Amino acid sequence: MPVQAITPRNGKKTARARRHPEVFTETSPSRAQARTLTGIFLDTGHLPEIQKYHALGIIRGVTTNPTILAKSGLAVGWSGIEDRCRAIARLIDPLPLSVEVTTNEPDDMLAQARAFITWGRNVNVKIPIHGPQGGTENLRLVHELETRQNIRINVTAMMSAQQCLLAAMAGATYVSIFGGRVNNMGYDSRQEVRRLRELLDGFGSTAKIIVGSTREVLNIVEWFEAGADIVTAVPSLLDGMLVHPYSKETVQMFLDDGAKLQAERPRAAKSASTR
Ligand code: E4P
């Protein structure tokens, strides 16, 4: 069962909910609670990278898509996808993992969604807002899976607040807007995220805003400031966020002075003992 579905319906928190307040939220949060930030989702299918950043305690979930998985050296075939996703889900449990459907045929999407959630209780299903020709079928499926089959959905590949609003109305747990691609089209992604935040809060929607397609280190904090609940990031951007040249220089100064102190200390100790 996906993690989000474990959220206690009676308002009482389970022991797991108390240990992971960032993942387990109340079923009917107030607006203030709905705005609680969730954090960074790592955008990769590469297991050693996930292991590394998960061990730092700085990620709150993992997102994948077929392109990401194709780049991460999977074994060929469906079993390659399944094995990798099962391994990721196990590693980060109870943090959520998004696995995207690889088809746009409604029956096949439905079958894949049902299969994905058996790969781990923390797996949620990513479904694009529509197919390459547009259409409404994907949203119908999102509504069906969320409201009738209790499967948590991350609606993906969205480029505007209005698309995300419709996905949230259909019942999506997560709505993913691709901020980097929005910027690449010449629009200001921050403005779109702010607009979406206001709309979802106005409607009292509990859908979590994911901003993905991160291109620059600065995107991460600027999208959180604009109202994202979650920002996805590739590992290199997290490194860029963490390491600062002036911090390096400062720490080098501490180490150099520390070494000088240590070199001087034995002499001082010796003269004290001979007194
Ligand atoms: C997020 O969930 C997506 O998987 C990802 O950020 C898409 O990014 P891209 O624009 O680099 O393909």
**Number of the ligand 1 atom closest to the C-alpha atom of 214:** 6
Clarify whether residues 256 and 125 are in a common domain.
no
Which of 23-27, 34-38, 77-81, 185-189 is predicted with the least confidence, judged by mean pLDDT? 23-27
Phi, psi of 122 (to 5 degrees): -100, 10
Considering only CA atoms, give the Rg of the chain: 22
Atom 5 (ligand 1): residue with closest C-alpha?
Answer: 213
The whole-number pLDDT of residue 265 equals: 65
CATH number at residue 58: 3.20.20.70
For residue 212, give the nearest of 52, 42, 32 by alpha carbon: 42
The whole-number pLDDT of residue 75 equals: 77
**Number of the ligand 1 atom closest to the C-alpha atom of 212:** 6
| pLDDT tens digits along 160-195 | 999 999 999 999 999 999 999 999 999 999 999 999
Q: What is the DSSP string of 197-220?
A: HHHHHHHT--PEEEEE---SHHHH
Clarify whether residues 129 and 28 are in a common domain.
yes
Residue 97, CB-side half-sphere exposure with 13 Å CA sphere? 30
Which of helix, strand or coil describes residue 123? strand
- Does the pLDDT of residue 7 top 80, yes or no? no
Cα of 181 vs centre of ligand 1, distance in Å, is: 9
Average pLDDT, whole number, for the chain? 88
Clarify whether residues 67 and 112 are in a common domain.
yes
Report how far apart, in Å, the C-alpha atoms of 31 and of each of 198, 206, 226 are.
Answer: 11, 8, 16
The whole-number pLDDT of residue 37 equals: 73
Clarify whether residues 29 and 129 are in a common domain.
yes
Clarify whether residues 125 and 204 are in a common domain.
yes
Cα of 204 vs centre of ligand 1, distance in Å, is: 27
The whole-number pLDDT of residue 15 equals: 46
Clarify whether residues 266 and 153 are in a common domain.
no
Clarify whether residues 78 and 18 are in a common domain.
yes
Binned at pLDDT 50, 70 and 90, residue 29 comes out as very low
What domain range includes position 266? 244-275
Which of 6-10, 89-93, 169-173 is predicted with the least confidence, judged by mean pLDDT? 6-10
Q: What is the DSSP string of 40-72?
A: EEEE---HHHHHHHHHTT-EEEEE--HHHHHTT
Catalytic option among 52, 126, 248, 260: 126
Cα of 97 vs centre of ligand 1, distance in Å, is: 14
Q: Which two tokens stand for residue 187?
A: 């629009």
Clarify whether residues 271 and 233 are in a common domain.
no
Q: Which two tokens stand for residue 51?
A: 């292991």
Higher-pLDDT residue of 46, 10: 46
Clarify whether residues 127 and 262 are in a common domain.
no
Binned at pLDDT 50, 70 and 90, residue 43 comes out as very high
Clarify whether residues 193 and 248 are in a common domain.
no
Cα of 10 vs centre of ligand 1, distance in Å, is: 35
The whole-number pLDDT of residue 10 equals: 39
The whole-number pLDDT of residue 275 equals: 47
Which of 71-75, 166-170, 209-213, 246-250 is predicted with the least confidence, judged by mean pLDDT? 71-75
Q: Which two tokens stand for residue 196?
A: 């979406």
- How many angstroms separate the CA atoms of 218 and 72, rounded? 25
Atom 7 (ligand 1): residue with closest C-alpha?
Answer: 213
- Does the pLDDT of residue 129 top 80, yes or no? yes
- Does the pLDDT of residue 237 top 70, yes or no? yes
For residue 164, give the nearest of 132, 191, 112, 200 by alpha carbon: 200
Q: Please state the pTM of the whole predicted model.
A: 0.84
Clarify whether residues 258 and 209 are in a common domain.
no
Evaluate whether 7 touches 26 at the Cβ level (below 8 Å).
yes
Atom 8 (ligand 1): residue with closest C-alpha?
Answer: 213
- How many angstroms separate the CA atoms of 52 and 73, rounded? 17
Number of domains composing the chain = 2
| Residue with token string 């935040």 | 197
Residue 252, CB-side half-sphere exposure with 13 Å CA sphere? 6
Clarify whether residues 98 and 130 are in a common domain.
yes
Active site residue 12: no
